[in-house]
Structure 1
Amino acid sequence: MASTAAQSVHKVTLATLTAMVVGSMVGAGVFSLPQRFGSETGVAGALVAWTVAGSGMLMLAFVFQTLAVRRPDLDAGVYAYAKAGFGEYLGFFSAFGYWASACVGNVTYWVLIMSTVGAVAPALGDGDTVLAIVLSTVGVWTFYLLIRRGTKEAAAINRIVTVAKVVPIIVFILLAVFYLDPQVFADNWRGGDDLGSLYEQVRGTMLVTVFVFLGVEGASVYSRHARRRKDVGRATLLGFAMVLSIFASVTIVSYGILPHEELAELRQPSMAGVLEAAVGEWGEVFVSVGLIVSVLGAYLAWTLMAAEVLFVAAGDDDMPRFLGRSNAADVPGPALLLTTVLVQTVLIVTAFSEDAFNFALNLTSALTLIPFLLAAAYAVKLALGRDATWPSGSTRDVVVAGLATAYTAFLLYAAGPKYILVSFIIYAPATVLFVMARREQGRTVFTPRELVILAVSVLGAVIGVIALLQGWITL
């Protein structure tokens, strides 16, 4: 591994950490919001959904802030908190699930870029044609070579890109407000009768809200590079506040441009279709260019974070040792390579999916829920004083951690069985890496408690495979 002296060169500031959070969250998701919300709910449901999602994610942001302060010894937060609270095997699952979700999420970026260009180059289709996959592959490996040069350079590039991509989104919001039709907005208030009850409408938006908020924990994951530990919590809250206002605004103003039925029929990126309806063809081009910049920045940030999780897990002996090696630039080379390989693999799988973008988006959200739930539950454990090495927290800590746990549990329910089963299909085979790590250390592979967890994960994977083969669920 790189020396301490080498690592100190790469310490980053509050501004850079905040840019990592914003850069991680403002990616493909924001450009898909008009269509995703238009197909599920009206203005009232959208307001409720953002209130629920914003409150829930704020609780999670507070959880990560509190844990960063109370457990400054834990790096790569999401993974480390699960391990500290519930043992090595669940910690491993948290690390792997978080990493896998980042990789699947990165695939949505390439699909969306190719779909965007596909509006003028039909050969790219919706981002899942052979040509689209070939061009995406070139991009995937180009970024691999860029990131290998060093985390400091990559983080600096991300800070610049974050500023560049927020500008067109703000312009979209301002133009949409200017062209907003009050009558169209009023007609969209309740949505259509075909959308079901308000509860059903809100539930239908939950996975997309999880997807767009992924990255709220970004500063925590990148914590070992922070110049000051307290900056981790500050960056989390600053980034969250900025991004929530952007996401909610993009969603709500779109209801004043097109009826929700037309929003639901827009191709992705649907934000481009909304602005085209408002100002003409140049609006679509403007948003499309902003999307490409935004998505490339988010891809950079998420690739960094994904590799970081594997690297730290290997350093803690929870992943095979080869993943714990880094080069002279302090970049975890093997972890970065494995990350890139999984992105490439999932990218190829998208060619066989009925709706590559939405499936990858929802699966990304589902894979992240287990790590989030375990981190929130660990915060509850700390707040109640159930960790013998730490004093109990305040009443505020208990309430915040409890609400964050309840919120993530509700999200698992909202995800439904399809994505939970597919997640098991991904989680269960990953145990091979856990077995490799235990054997390298000459330890017993599974404790009795871990065998129970293994049995549950394998059973879930078997049910998932049967469901796919029988056509009960589809990709």
Structure 2
Amino acid sequence: MNNRTVSMRTLIALIIGSTVGAGIFSIPQNIGSVAGPGAMLIGWTIAGVGMLAVAFVFHILARRKPHLDSGVYAYARVGLGDYVGFSSAWGYWLGSVIAQVGYATLFFSTLGHYVPIFSDDHPVVSAVAVSALTWLVFGVVARGVSQAAFLTTLTTIVKILPLLCFVIIVAFVGFSWEKFTIDFWATNGNVGSVFEQVQGIMVYTVWVFIGVEGASVYSRQARSRSDVGRATVIGFVAVLLLLVSISSLSFGVLTQQELAALPDNSMASVLEAVVGPWGAALISAGLCLSVLGAYVSWQMLCAEPLALMAMDGLIPRKIGAINSRGAAWMAQLISTIVIQLFIIVFFLNETTYVSMVQLATNLYLVPYLFSAIYLVMLATRGKGLTHPHAGSRFDDSGPEIPRQENQKHLLVGVVAAVYSVWLFYAAEPQYVLFGAIAMVPGLIPYVWTRLYRKEKVFNAFEWVVVTVVVVAAIAGIVSLVNGSLSL
């Protein structure tokens, strides 16, 4: 029976739908706060090459290892060891948890412009509202209820239409070439050198591309393998053009300093400067509907890494328990509790949406980096570092790849790995340290499970990874204690 039913058009829609999220609505302020138009264009060029390489890493690995279907962490686990796979899943899970808090915060702060009770003047009300929304969604997904296909399609349309309206209206009505070029390199903006500006926008460019690897999941269902590659390029270029258009057009309406001073939903403010209040209302409605439409899916995604690791024996299997309605209720409950804890911590510390974005992005980078390293290993030596699961579905074996194709895979892997390392370097140090602190608690269930199963805890490479994480976490804790580190 042929199950290759996903067309290239559908694959393109999946890429665009999974990549374009709430982050795009805040991109004018995010970019404007750290860079001018010139550095912005350089940054998007680097991000375009780097994130396309990351997307192709997952596409190539899906083709070379079609039996590895336990999410993005499976590649890191097979190639570099169980703990590296676990840390990739743990990072992806925590990134998703923090992203949930960020999305809900952005939703209620936007709503606060129209419903004063949710404004920044009432942080406790917003915290309670975010908590209530989180537990309401848990109640839905724990019953095994998921969004229907038509709702996902509707959500994508709701997201894209306001963005297209923004591009068309601003391009033909509000854009000023003189304003765009008057301080092209932001020499008057107190944002540093061009290099520092480019460095500053890197995390934001990754944030708005999270999910671009999603097309590789559907490789086996595509009508042809070549469709996946073409869809990845077309979908990625479409999203990149949309992001570059919104960023560039915004600099033609407001100066870099004006953009930097905007609220989180900065696209609304830019359009309001062009056409008045109804423009802000249009964009705000698109953002709110987009966040609400995707919130259930993202909260379900939060639980997926935990459930997969439990099913694969990396953490206690009870965490992956499935109820009678087919929902991983224990993983959902743990994820919801952790989301609630982050809500409390973030609101007590008055953490901004931008800080949540930077922290979540650093955690998302973990599986990106390790998957790229695995592809480099496959292209150079044909296998990963360890093979503790030979003969199982985590076996590292695979078909022989022609030399010329391997060279292409090596180039993609190297570009993605270098780009991922550069992103860690470009990130603000405090978010790297906070990310390390967040990784350490995962050692408890992982080590306990390995000891309980009487399995080797770490291989040589994993000891290096653990040492780096623990040392960074200790440095972060010391900095927290002496007051030099804060969110």
1:142 paired to 2:136: yes
116-125 or 202-211, larger mean C-alpha shift: 116-125
In the superposition, the TM-score normalised over structure 1's length comes to 0.90
* Aligned equivalents of 1:325, 1:16: Cα separation in 2: 32
The structural deviation recorded for 1:323 is 2.6
The structural deviation recorded for 1:185 is 1.7
* Structure 2 residue matching 1:160: 3-state secondary structure: helix
Aligned to 1:404: 416
- Contact 2:146–2:297, Cα closer than 8 Å, also in 1: no
- Correspondences of 1:69-468 after superposition (within 5 Å): 69-126=63-120, 129-150=123-144, 153-154=147-148, 156-178=150-172, 179-193=174-188, 194-220=190-216, 230=225, 236-387=232-383, 389-390=397-398, 391=400, 393-446=405-458, 450-468=462-480
Q: 1:229 to 1:336 in 2, by over 3 A?
A: farther
Partner amino acid for 1:306?
C
Q: 1:42 to 1:348 in 2, by over 3 A?
A: same
Q: 1:449 to 1:382 in 2, by over 3 A?
A: closer
* Structure 2 residue matching 1:72: 3-state secondary structure: coil
Partner amino acid for 2:469?
S
CA offset digits 1:371-425 (Å, max 9, x no partner): 1100111111111134173435522111111111111110010013211111110
Aligned to 1:3: none
The total of aligned residue pairs comes to: 466
325-334 or 110-119, larger mean C-alpha shift: 325-334
- Contact 1:89–1:450, Cα closer than 8 Å, also in 2: yes
The structural deviation recorded for 1:242 is 2.7
The structural deviation recorded for 1:131 is 0.3
1:55 to 49, 54, 57: 49
CA offset digits 1:41-79 (Å, max 9, x no partner): 121111111111011000111111111111111124420
Q: 1:259 to 1:97 in 2, by over 3 A?
A: same
The structural deviation recorded for 1:206 is 0.4
* Aligned equivalents of 2:327, 2:10: Cα separation in 1: 17
Q: 1:136 to 1:366 in 2, by over 3 A?
A: same
- Contact 1:85–1:378, Cα closer than 8 Å, also in 2: yes
164-173 or 315-324, larger mean C-alpha shift: 315-324
Aligned to 1:43: 37
Over aligned residues, Cα RMSD in angstroms? 2.7
Q: 1:130 to 1:234 in 2, by over 3 A?
A: farther
Q: Structure 1 regions of 5+ residues with no counterpart?
A: 1-8
Q: 1:26 to 1:283 in 2, by over 3 A?
A: same
- Contact 2:111–2:288, Cα closer than 8 Å, also in 1: no
CA offset digits 1:310-366 (Å, max 9, x no partner): 222222212220232324554322222222222222112121234421110000111
- Contact 1:118–1:127, Cα closer than 8 Å, also in 2: no
CA offset digits 1:243-301 (Å, max 9, x no partner): 21221111111111111111111111111110110100111111110001122234333
- Contact 2:66–2:220, Cα closer than 8 Å, also in 1: no
Q: 1:203 to 1:453 in 2, by over 3 A?
A: closer
- Contact 2:81–2:459, Cα closer than 8 Å, also in 1: no
In the superposition, the TM-score normalised over structure 2's length comes to 0.88
- Contact 1:421–1:464, Cα closer than 8 Å, also in 2: yes
- Contact 2:147–2:296, Cα closer than 8 Å, also in 1: no
* Aligned equivalents of 1:18, 1:311: Cα separation in 2: 28
- Contact 1:366–1:420, Cα closer than 8 Å, also in 2: yes
Percent of aligned pairs with the same amino acid: 39
Partner amino acid for 2:446?
F
CA offset digits 1:421-471 (Å, max 9, x no partner): 111100011111212432443434445654454333222211111111212
* Aligned equivalents of 1:201, 1:384: Cα separation in 2: 35
1:26 paired to 2:20: yes
- Contact 1:115–1:127, Cα closer than 8 Å, also in 2: no
446-455 or 110-119, larger mean C-alpha shift: 446-455
302-311 or 439-448, larger mean C-alpha shift: 439-448
* Structure 1 residue matching 2:469: 3-state secondary structure: helix
410-419 or 270-279, larger mean C-alpha shift: 410-419
Partner amino acid for 1:274?
V
Partner amino acid for 2:366?
I
Q: Structure 2 regions of 5+ residues with no counterpart?
A: 385-396
* Aligned equivalents of 1:425, 1:254: Cα separation in 2: 36
* Structure 2 residue matching 1:267: 3-state secondary structure: coil
* Structure 2 residue matching 1:266: 3-state secondary structure: coil
Q: 1:98 to 1:321 in 2, by over 3 A?
A: same
Q: 1:447 to 1:77 in 2, by over 3 A?
A: same
Partner amino acid for 1:443?
E
